[in-house]
Amino acid sequence: MVQRSSDSDVRAIVLPLLMRVHQSRQGTLVIEEMGLCQGSARIDLAVISSTIHGFEIKSARDTLDRLEAQVMVYSRVLQRVTLVADQVHMPEVTKMVPRWWGLWKVSHERGRIVAKDLRQPRDNPRVDPTALVQLLWRDEVVALLHQRNILAGYRSKPREVLWSRLVENITIKELYLLVAQQLRSRPSWRLA
């Protein structure tokens, strides 16, 4: 009988691996089910250090129906993405994800589920700064604008206006560092 991996099977090997790799890095968080683009999608696992690296899991029991939409959202926000997919999906997913995405293949070997790194992720060439700043809470955006002396006349504006103000005044490189720093400093997360 062919074994079919489930999301929880794959997560059970990926999560401890990420925790082990990143636990020694001060201030790095591993978060489960992180919402992106105002909740339009959730990445299965996110590693937040000076970058935001998302890991999407597609087990053998999953379909690829949502992958195209997920690729669009994740590619707007995340600096790096790795797709962790069961070997049954490999022929299809390699055609569906951008070349800058990393790929891990999940398979069964000697009764165990193993993940093999097939392709290292590269930096996202087209981050949407507006989608990136949408990860920030309103009070975080206000604080960042205040720190840069560009808050005057904007304090009571809606968050969409505040996000735009931030995007207009800070480079994408600096935005990534600031957003990652804010996310790491939040007191409440669904930590892995």
pLDDT at 1 over 50: no
Q: Does 12 reside within a domain?
A: yes
pLDDT 10s digits, 52-107? 999 999 988 899 999 999 999 999 999 999 999 999 999 999 999 999 999 999 88
Same domain for 108 and 178, yes or no, is no
pLDDT at 25 over 70: no
Same domain for 98 and 176, yes or no, is no
Same domain for 52 and 134, yes or no, is no
- How many residues appear in the chain? 192
What residue numbers bound the domain in which 170 lies? 129-185
For residues 117 and 102, is the Cβ–Cβ distance under 8 A? yes
- Write the CA distances from 142 to 40, 96, 129, 133, 152, integer angstroms: 23, 38, 17, 12, 10
Instruction: Write down which residue in 119, 154, 177 finishes a domain.
Output: 119
| Cβ atoms within 10 Å, residue 42 | 15
Closest CA to 134 of 41, 29, 19: 41
Q: Does 124 reside within a domain?
A: no
Same domain for 135 and 159, yes or no, is yes
Burial 66-78, CB ≥16 within 10 A → b, else e: ebeebbebbbbbb
The two three-digit tokens of residue 168, written as one number:
């207009």
Residue 179's pLDDT is what?
94
Residue 49's pLDDT is what?
87
Same domain for 86 and 151, yes or no, is no
- Write the CA distances from 121 to 8, 115, 156, integer angstroms: 23, 15, 40
Same domain for 60 and 139, yes or no, is no
For residues 134 and 37, is the Cβ–Cβ distance under 8 A? yes
Same domain for 91 and 159, yes or no, is no
Instruction: Write down which residue in 119, 140, 156 finishes a domain.
Output: 119
Residue matched to tokens 């069964």: 108
Same domain for 113 and 18, yes or no, is yes
| Cβ atoms within 10 Å, residue 33 | 11
Same domain for 84 and 17, yes or no, is yes
| Cβ atoms within 10 Å, residue 176 | 20
Instruction: Report percent pLDDT > 70 for the chain.
Output: 93
